[in-house]
Amino acid sequence: MIKSISNKLTYIALLATALHVAGASADELETPMFSFSGFGTLGVVHSSENQADFTSSAFKPNGAGYSHDWSADVDSLIGGQVTVDLSPKLSSVLQVIAEQNYDNTYRPHVEWANIKYQVTPDFNVRIGRIVLPVFLVSDFRKVGYANPWARTPVEIYGLLPVSNSDGIDTSYRMRIGEFTNTLQGIYGQNEVNLPSGGGTAKAKDVLGITYTGEYDAATAHISYLQSNAIVDAYKPLFDGFRQFGAEGIALADKYDLSKVHLSVISLGGIYDPGDWFVMGEWCVINSKVVTIQRNAWYASGGYRIDKFTPYLTFAHVKTHINSSDPGLAAPAAAALNAGLSAVLESIPSQQTISIGGRWDFMTNAALKLQYDHTRIDTGSNGVLINLQPGFQTGGSFNVFSTSIDFVF
């Protein structure tokens, strides 16, 4: 029995392929129908903060720092993608990735599984598990070889760690002279498991629109997305507040992050004439919970010297909470007040400067070294997880990363 949406989508894609092969003539089968590509990262990371873990995603259970002096789990992954051309207008794609999961396993998961119908040369429709096109490098955020850094800046990409959606999208491309304009719409849903027994996080009614403009060596990206989010882990805390009568109910209604409406706006651009590049993105996330707003941006640039590319990145994320409360006065609510403080402190506010280098030492493989210095704002944990009793909000820490990215 097929239980999950992702399994259903994978099954549909593979069934369509099987039916096409079964009904194809010998001449048709002589034409290559399948194409395969793969990618991966082998990396290790060290963090100077030994009272918490640094990791690349909130969906990972541990990382470098407290759990491991050097961690291979932060960035390492392996992925493969099969594309099947079922007909001149119909194709399907299946992408599977193995990386550290919420339960500390490397069990492969389906990243993409969709069928695309090319209505016209410039207009297509896809259905299935599809990339969530919020950011500038969303299509290849997990393909380290395609990016200059050791990892995408966590300040902005960590705001929305979800990378795909189960549903439908459409894309229309229009050329005006040397300008290429692409408009994409998406509707779907997503569900992910959270580490440390945190249950699931669900995104329902994911609705978004994205514009990408290309001219010569320049690319601009604008995206708007909204969704209704449900996070199981927060529900017991705010249900606890509601047991304290009107005051507790009012406080819970104000801060309840277990069920919120989110809106995301992002702007990005890159100019890459070949010898050098500059790129940057800005993103803001609003939630209708005491108007919690998160702003993030990064700016990055590098210069290519033969096979070596040094680069520099500045990144910043800031959380604005337009309300403040001392919590409930009742002594019995002390644990709830502490829980609320911990939740608000987990929303990151920090700044990072990164310096690194990329060496394309062989075809389809690159060695990267990167040093990050991060300063955390007072009252925030930054992007760190697995906080230990000795950890204090604010402060700073350093991260050293080395990795080999490859494609095949």
Domain ranges of the chain: 43-74+133-407
What are the residues facing 182 on neighbouring strands?
A: 173, 212
- 189, 167 Cβ separation under 8 angstroms: yes
Tokens of 106: 């490397």
Question: How confident is the model at residue 31, as a pLDDT?
Answer: 56
DSSP labels, 63-84: -EETTBSEESTTT-EEEEEEEE
Q: Give 377's DSSP letter.
A: P
Which residues, 6+ apart, have CB-to-CB distance to 137 below 8 Å?
A: 146, 147, 152
- 113, 95 Cβ separation under 8 angstroms: yes
* Distance from C-alpha of 71 to C-alpha of 50, rounded to nearest angstrom: 13
Tokens of 39: 């990618």
Question: How confident is the model at residue 345, as a pLDDT?
Answer: 73
- 160, 138 Cβ separation under 8 angstroms: no
- 398, 47 Cβ separation under 8 angstroms: yes
- What pTM value is reported for the model? 0.86
Tokens of 17: 């392929």
What are the residues facing 139 on neighbouring strands?
A: none
Instruction: Report the amino acid identity of residue 154.
Output: V
Q: Give 385's DSSP letter.
A: B
> 66-101, pLDDT tens digit by residue?
999 999 999 999 999 999 999 999 999 999 999 999
- Please report, to the nearest 10 degrees, the dihedral formed by the alpha carbons of residues 18, 22, 25, 29 taken in order: 30
Find where tokens 């259903």 sit. 8
Which residues, 6+ apart, have CB-to-CB distance to 7 below 8 Å?
A: 110
Burial class of residue 259, CB neighbours in 10 A (0-12, 13-18, 19+): middle
- 170, 130 Cβ separation under 8 angstroms: no
* Distance from C-alpha of 304 to C-alpha of 210, rounded to nearest angstrom: 30
* Distance from C-alpha of 126 to C-alpha of 323, rounded to nearest angstrom: 42
* Distance from C-alpha of 364 to C-alpha of 407, rounded to nearest angstrom: 5
Q: How far is CA 152 from CA 17, 54, 75, 407, in A?
A: 34, 14, 10, 17
- 252's enclosing H/E stretch is helix 245-255
What are the residues facing 204 on neighbouring strands?
A: 228
Pairing between strand 292-303 and 53-54? unpaired
Q: State the Cα angle at 294 between 297 and 166, rounded to 5°.
A: 90
DSSP labels, 135-180: STTGGGTT-GGGSSSSS--HHHHTTS---EEEEEEEEEEEEETTEE
Which residues, 6+ apart, have CB-to-CB distance to 387 below 8 Å?
A: 51, 52, 381
Tell me the pLDDT of the chain (408 aa) as tens digits.
Answer: 333 444 444 444 444 444 444 444 444 445 569 999 999 999 999 999 999 999 999 999 999 999 999 999 999 999 999 999 999 999 999 999 999 999 999 999 999 999 999 999 999 999 999 999 999 999 999 999 999 999 999 999 998 999 999 999 999 999 999 999 999 999 999 999 999 888 899 999 999 999 999 999 999 999 999 999 988 888 888 888 888 888 778 777 777 778 889 999 999 999 999 999 999 999 999 887 655 788 999 999 999 999 999 999 999 999 887 656 666 766 666 777 777 777 777 788 999 999 999 999 999 999 999 999 999 998 899 999 999 999 988 899 999 999 999 999
What fold, for 43-74+133-407?
A: Porin (2.40.160)
Q: State the Cα angle at 221 between 139 and 83, rounded to 5°.
A: 25
